[in-house]
Structure 1
């Protein structure tokens, strides 16, 4: 017979590291399941650890969550579990805030450098055996608008400032003299015309869904580049394709897209001014272990009846700053 609180771990193709999970197994019953067995594994469980944080399986299994008190997401974004029953209920939601900040910031800097130095173009010339002198852009002095002022946005801002870029931001609350962003505005369309690069890292909420539409892209400079490391659903994809085709913007680096995975025949694959990665901007070597460690540390709080770390405001859809 199972003894102790039941912890359900929702995984995908890989399981959490068994050694790292040892402190949880010592004090609780751990049920591992993939999406197909989630309904069964949720019955009687007090905690759900969403190790497969891209899953969309929970709404369909929610009817079986008869004892659930806490959901921990193995990611920063919590939109996969922010369906109405969770928002309206008493289940606490936490996330893995902080783990991916530096890695995503490095990714953003790398993509900006790829645009400025046209590294993809150099690689194409190399593969063709062509020696052709070209000039490149400077990023020092260029202006970047960071859309989203959470910890990842701050890490991006600090790194880009260190590289000599001028940083501004758009967030929920206007302010001046922010230590990382300088000036924070609240009107996206008013801020877009001043940016050479626009970085989307806002959480996905009803307010941010489709915020980058035809009107937003039309407000950007023709030479501006768009970098999305937030969620694909922040963008109206057809409007982005149109803006890239007609020259409203000069390029896009997309770690997240809508839909995911991007279909093989989607026009984004064919556009020469687009760089696409498969939602891995934060996936540094060792990140899976970091997810488990963050959950185990929060489990220590839960089992000792201490306040949990990184509690999500379910009305806002993220951990308040």
Structure 2
């Protein structure tokens, strides 16, 4: 009998969930760390990049002699894409859909934390200090979500349900969007930043979005505005953000992603009372790893039946076609 099982390489960081073993039922599986990847790739049909922070695929690329499809266990693919892959016939898919609602809930939580000054309450509680304060309402405040893909839309739904006025910023301007109402063109971003109380970054990292929020952009913010970044660290010029926060040109920032991760202990962001820091976890809720594996396994079954996989990434733009992000 002819063996029709594909060979799948799983790039991991030394550990992976037991649920991963279920892939063995439908494929020949090779598990590889970054160092082992060049030896594992020859003859493989599929690469599952479980270690989505890795950049090892580019170095191992010459060994990918038979590769037809790469799936990434993340929504962003900026760490994966390189010129040889972009110009190859290898299909790239991502894990769109897994993180939308959890990340939206994280954004709403940080908005509420700022408005209700919860971070200050925690600090005061640590010192057993009773200090009455007045807080803010979020109803009627204005939020701009930069990135109008599925994650951005989920964020818009959560903030709108909480009574906020939400607009979007995307690659193309348009009116009457079902989730955002008005969508501003990214090229016009500087002209509208000053009208929002919260600016939320949920865009993919591309050449067009790298350094999107720099000193010039931050100078356009309201001094009472907060920046929330759940996209990629490099969407923001971190040194410019530190300067703006120190000078009081913006009121605060909630940051889940950074240029360098983990954030170095020497970063001044750690010591700023108006900054909320989380370690790249806004989409990671209980059960998320199993969801990622289920998504890949479902896609692998489609592949086995000769169907196109879901969540195909436009390798030139850097995100899934049909879900405009910026």
Tell me the TM-score normalized by structure 1: 0.97
**Equivalent residue, structure 1, for 2:105:** 106
**Equivalent residue, structure 1, for 2:24:** 25
**Equivalent residue, structure 1, for 2:126:** 127
Equivalent residue runs for 1:95-244 within 5 Å = 95-186=94-185, 187-244=188-245
* Residues 1:275 and 2:276 are matched in the alignment: yes
Tell me the TM-score normalized by structure 2: 0.95
For the residue of structure 1 that corresponds to 2:191, the secondary structure is helix
How far 1:26 moved relative to its partner? 2.5
**Equivalent residue, structure 1, for 2:316:** 315
Instruction: Output one character per residue of 1:210-260: Cα deviation in whole Å (capped at 9) or x when no partner.
Output: 111000100100010000000001111111111111111110000001111
Give 5+ residue unaligned stretches, structure 1.
none
Q: Take 2:88 and 2:269, find their aligned partners in 1: how far apart are those partners?
A: 39
**Equivalent residue, structure 2, for 1:40:** 39
Q: Take 2:21 and 2:142, find their aligned partners in 1: how far apart are those partners?
A: 44
Give the number of equivalent residue pairs: 318
Instruction: Output one character per residue of 1:163-210: Cα deviation in whole Å (capped at 9) or x when no partner.
Output: 000001100111111111110010111121111000000001111011
Q: Take 2:97 and 2:26, find their aligned partners in 1: how far apart are those partners?
A: 26
Give 5+ residue unaligned stretches, structure 2.
none
Q: Take 1:103 and 1:201, find their aligned partners in 2: how far apart are those partners?
A: 13
Stretches (4+) displaced over 4 A: none
Query: Are the aligned partners of 1:7 and 1:30 in contact in 2 as well (CA < 8 Å)?
Result: yes
Query: Are the aligned partners of 1:205 and 1:317 in contact in 2 as well (CA < 8 Å)?
Result: yes
Q: Take 1:261 and 1:128, find their aligned partners in 2: how far apart are those partners?
A: 28
Structure 1 vs Structure 2 CA RMSD = 1.3
Query: Are the aligned partners of 1:16 and 1:51 in contact in 2 as well (CA < 8 Å)?
Result: no
Q: Take 2:145 and 2:21, find their aligned partners in 1: how far apart are those partners?
A: 36
Q: Which shows bigger deviation, 311-320 or 4-13?
A: 4-13
For the residue of structure 2 that corresponds to 1:35, the secondary structure is coil
For the residue of structure 2 that corresponds to 1:275, the secondary structure is strand
Q: Take 1:131 and 1:268, find their aligned partners in 2: how far apart are those partners?
A: 26
* Residues 1:56 and 2:55 are matched in the alignment: yes
Equivalent residue runs for 1:1-20 within 5 Å = 4-18=5-19
Equivalent residue runs for 1:53-92 within 5 Å = 53-92=52-91
Query: Are the aligned partners of 1:17 and 1:289 in contact in 2 as well (CA < 8 Å)?
Result: no
Instruction: Output one character per residue of 1:37-89: Cα deviation in whole Å (capped at 9) or x when no partner.
Output: 11111111110001111112111111211111000011111111111111111
**Equivalent residue, structure 1, for 2:257:** 256
Q: Take 2:237 and 2:246, find their aligned partners in 1: how far apart are those partners?
A: 15
How far 1:299 moved relative to its partner? 0.1
Query: Are the aligned partners of 1:170 and 1:191 in contact in 2 as well (CA < 8 Å)?
Result: no
How far 1:21 moved relative to its partner? 4.2
